[in-house]
Amino acid sequence: MNEPALPNSFRTGPDEQGMFGIFGGRFVAETLMPLILDLQKEWEAAKNDPAFKAELTALSTFYAGRPSKLYFAEGLTRHLGGARIYFKREDLNHTGSHKINNCLGQILLAKRMGKTRIIAETGAGQHGVASATVAARFGYPCFVYMGATDVERQKPNVFRMKLLGAEVRPVTAGHGTLKDAMNEALRDWVTNVEDTYYLIGTAAGPHPYPEMVRDFQSVIGSEARAQILEQEGRLPDVIIAAVGGGSNAIGLFHPFLDDKDVRIIGVEAGGRGLDGVEHCASMNAGRPGVLHGNRTYLLQNEDGQIVDGHSISAGLDYPGVGPEHAWLRDTGRVDYVPILDDEALEAFQLCTKAEGIIPALESAHAIAHAIKIAPTMGRDEIIIVNLSGRGDKDVHTVARMMGMEI
Q: Which residues are catalytic?
A: 99, 121, 388
Return the number of the residue (293 or 389) whose C-beta is nearest other proteins: 293
At a CB cut-off of 8 Å and minimum separation 6, what does 66 contact? 60, 93, 101, 219, 223
Smallest separation (angstroms) from other proteins to the CB of 180: 8
d(CA 252, CA 203) in angstroms, rounded, equals: 12
Q: Residue 383 in contact with residue 86, Cβ under 8 Å?
A: yes
Q: Which is nearer to other proteins, 34 or 375 (CB)?
A: 34
Q: How far is the CB of 34 from other proteins (least distance, A)?
A: 5
Instruction: Give me the residues that bind other proteins (CB under 8 A), please.
Output: 17, 25-35, 173-174, 179, 183, 186-187, 190-194, 289-293, 295, 298, 300, 302-307
> Which region holds residue 131: left if phi is over 0, alpha if psi is between -120 and 50, else beta?
alpha
Q: Which is nearer to other proteins, 38 or 392 (CB)?
A: 38
Q: Are 237 and 383 in contact (CB under 8 A)?
A: yes
Minimum Å gap between C-beta 178 and other proteins is 12
Residue 288 Cβ, how far from other proteins at the closest point, in Å?
A: 8
* Residue among 183 and 218 whose Cβ is closer to other proteins: 183
* Least distance (Å) between residue 320 CB and other proteins: 10
- Closest of 167, 183, 146 to residue 315, by C-alpha: 146
Phi-psi category of residue 146: left, alpha or beta, with phi > 0 → left and psi -120 to 50 → alpha? beta
Q: Give yes or no for a cis peptide into 156 (omega within 30° of 0).
A: no
Closer of 84 and 279 to other proteins (Cβ): 279
Kindly give, in sequence order, each residue whose CB lies less than 8 Å from that of residue 77, ignoring residues fewer than 6 positions away. Answer: 83, 84, 85, 374
DSSP string, 130-185: HHHHHHHHHT--EEEEEEHHHHHHTHHHHHHHHHTTPEEEEE-STTSSHHHHHHHH
